Structure 1
Amino acid sequence: MTTPSTRADVVIRPYGPGQVPPLMDVVADIWADAHPELVDNPGAEALGLSAPALHRQISGHLKHQGFTLVVAYTTGTAVGFGYAFPCDAAYWFGADLVDQVPEGARTERLMGLCELAVRPPWQSQGIGSRLHAELLKAIAPSWSSLLALPSNHRGQDLYARLGYEYAGPYRNTPDGPEFDLLLLRVGTQPG
């Protein structure tokens, strides 16, 4: 493994759906490094929070028009990734929340941010913010939304710095973990 580099040494590359399958193991490895508390946790796999679940999730999302994956590289090594796609509010928020989010999030272009992960040695260097900015540039939404585990303090801190606000609790399945649904009105990010 290489050592952390300066921000200038980081290159962000975008990928479309047809370019993603060969990168699946790389992004799953980044995800696992960024979420050590979930690796080898049998309960996490049952809840869909594992590298194999990430493979299934990405494979299912590749069909969405506008799907974009961005990967951060330093000295040829992938150190972070994120992916998102434009989606409609009914799909993203579900029947229980769609009427509770702001009207603009229901009617204007919405980006569903599915994953954003950076290997620990490269965290707190602006890479997550740069990955996020590249996704916003590629998808050009009016709103962005994501799900974050309340226990993911580093992620929650990043999302707050990016301007995301809590919009309510969310569960993918009735017995699944409760996530925080976070919303961002694009163009209103902090300074």
Structure 2
Amino acid sequence: MSDSTAPTLRMEVPGIDEYRAMRLATGLSDKTVEAAGIGLAASWSAVCVRDQGQLIGMGRVVGDGGCFFLVVDIAVSPDWQGKGIGKRIMAALMDDLRARAPTSSIVGLFADREAWRLYAQFGFTLSAPASQGMMLRL
């Protein structure tokens, strides 16, 4: 793959339909159109990776903008996994956090399966036993 055909990464929020499709294609839970529209509009930071205009990877940061942030929606199309796209997404989000978030901020995430290995490369550590992650799905 030459540089002229390499996927492009941009700081942008994905569209609702492509966001929902990417979540399903990568095994993440579905979100309603209503939930996706509200959530995407509230993104603190977002990254899209595209190949010839087609969304092949995405990631977002949500939070209060000062004290707490959560990395969410890190997803790479199955055909593009294992090619460093996830690492590019995380690097862009972390660069944005380091540039704009206050230094006392806490950044968290939930790692599915073995994804914690990617996040560890960016300084994230497993919080147990000091704390336990908890969640509730509505």
The bucket for the TM-score relative to the shorter chain is 0.7 to 0.9
The alignment's TM-score, normalised by the length of structure 1, stands at 0.55
Give structure 2 stretches of 5+ with no counterpart. Answer: none
Matches within 5 A, 1:12-161: 12-15=9-12, 20=13, 23-35=15-27, 50-52=29-31, 56=35, 59-60=38-39, 62-63=41-42, 67-87=44-64, 110-140=68-98, 141=101, 142=103, 143-149=106-112, 152-153=113-114, 155-161=115-121
Q: SS of the residue aligned with 1:172?
A: coil
Give the conservation status (yes or no) of the 8 Å contact 1:31–1:119. no
Residue by residue over 1:60-103, the C-alpha shift from the partner in whole angstroms, topping out at 9 and shown as x without a partner, is 46346xx1221001122110000103437xxxxxxxxxxxxxxx
The alignment's TM-score, normalised by the length of structure 2, stands at 0.73
Give structure 1 stretches of 5+ with no counterpart. Answer: 39-49, 89-107, 177-191
Residue by residue over 1:138-180, the C-alpha shift from the partner in whole angstroms, topping out at 9 and shown as x without a partner, is 333445310123xx22x2232233332111332222xx5xxxx
Q: SS of the residue aligned with 1:52?
A: coil
Larger relative helix fraction: 1
Larger relative strand fraction: 1
Number of aligned pairs? 128
Overall identity of the aligned pairs, in %: 22
Q: SS of the residue aligned with 1:83?
A: strand
Name the structure 2 match of 1:11. 8
Aligned-partner Cα distance in 1 for 2:15–2:57: 12
Task: Give the root-mean-square deviation of aligned CA atoms.
Answer: 2.9
Give the conservation status (yes or no) of the 8 Å contact 1:85–1:139. no
Give the conservation status (yes or no) of the 8 Å contact 1:87–1:112. no
